[in-house]
Structure 1
């Protein structure tokens, strides 16, 4: 069996590499010639732990290839995955499907024999029907089936999520497509991972529902954190107390600066728009979006408050720029709001991130980028921890303090114990916990 993966972004590249690790022949195709050249040279354009080794290994074995020739990749394939971007459409928040349909027209022109066309991109419910119509219009005589196979990959742990998933959701009513998809995912049957076959509409909606529910947990615990600060409770203990309930679960109950990244922000908004158009509004998810937006907008105000009511003329260190650790993804990262607001208020911001600075330099030219955490805090009036990279978890606090002009630490990820930070001489504040 041979796969064509259309799009070598985060999902396409990870999925293609992992399928090739299963022993399947995979050709990843992309219109971006510079990206393909880098991949052909063994350079992976995104940071994801383990991905470079996986790509190198399977490319050397001949199971994974990269090309700009979409037509040749499709012509040889039994299964074609469309894994292109679906950003929020400017102006109305709906998912922009133009890249999906453009890819579909190219696929239609090159298909040979029975072909399973799979949407791996996150698309609104009903997209499978539209995609089938586009393919049929472009290639009336073609023999194909359209399948929805949403991804559930977490940046930073995507390879493990693909290899050992909680579930695989496949939306199709075509028996030939079901058989091919079942064979494609056969290695997961051997480790008894559930493969759920549904209708296309159900599969499409499942992806959005999953992301919306997880985003809701984040907004919920952040609002609980605000309440904890007012009544003297500890949000981490609250999260543990409710998370140990099997009906609730412990994951995504970590108070912080709000969710970001490539999925939750755009997917929650797209789901809200889809529901409104269907005449079945999702009031709960609308509130989740509003709560998260307000949280990110309010972060700089917290910092200003801890700095005496003004940051004009002050220097602030920001540790962590990506929306989460173990990725270089800056999309919708809370640091974007924080740094923009602080510099607009007259502060100088010195920033450091282990992987995100190449992209951050493009987005935040007003920041001063530093070599490490200790370099970033030099001469600063306060340090703000925004992303919980492992290297920030065990900093030498006395050394950190010795480099600063004023020892204020604002820990938006609750990675330090307040008593320890205070003992090191810091005026310390965190999220949803009593001050030491």
Structure 2
């Protein structure tokens, strides 16, 4: 009983602190409309409040209050620096995207001062690439640094899983029964020869040797065909990085083709994914039929080819001919995968009729997040049932028409 007053005092103190903190947070959430709520903000909280108001209360000018971000790059750069001080990186990226959408700051990205202040992410890279053609020379060097930083982070995060998944699937997909010493798969060889265990010598006689595929031998041909219309911008960034990673794996032959109404083969740039990205031109129309016509010419070994079309399937060209070309590739034995999106959202807008028609032909149509792409490629290389793989991965596939 002697501890009751102390316990009650602590509870009251904690409740008071919690109530004050809650009031502070609501004041920051509600903005200037809650100025009469009675919450006293610290100097730092006032600075945070100004940063939020600049973005989320852009109509303040109409009421005679302080304006938003203004029209000059230096003021925007200062604002970007402020939010990086006050908020974690994930929140900063959301606020930057909101600023681009709400306040039309694309033109500000043409200033080096602003680029140096931004928190770089995939969406920012996509915006920069869409501005590539109008970007002044003084800004391009800074833009390349921003893009290179994001690409490096993506490669670090996604490159190793993709290499491991592809290499492992190739090893399991191909049996080499006459391997050289450095090609022996020791685990499979030991398992296959357990019956030849010699008790006297405590060893196994490897009567049958099982090896990996020949090094340097291209076991699969992979073609990434990427729609670079504006709605596919984040997918273009991820696909370009994945293409460069696949190109570094000698056991597969990788081609990367991007298209809008014009088709560009960027395979010769795959040693540098930044160059691949700056070789794209986001925001054009869409002619999938023309892209498929070009890619058909790249297919030399249909049954060893995995064709990945990354597109929302909104065709601006000859839709009937596009479907006929896809059907021809499938009949010839090409494994056709249509990724309706390759981004973090996984909820794309797409042409449902084309997706259903392609599925009925034997293509596999679904959206895919970047973290699942390595497993997808591994499953495709091993010729697994991709519908079953997608179901196990929690991916909703398109139903046949």
TM-score (norm 1): 0.23
Higher helix share: 2
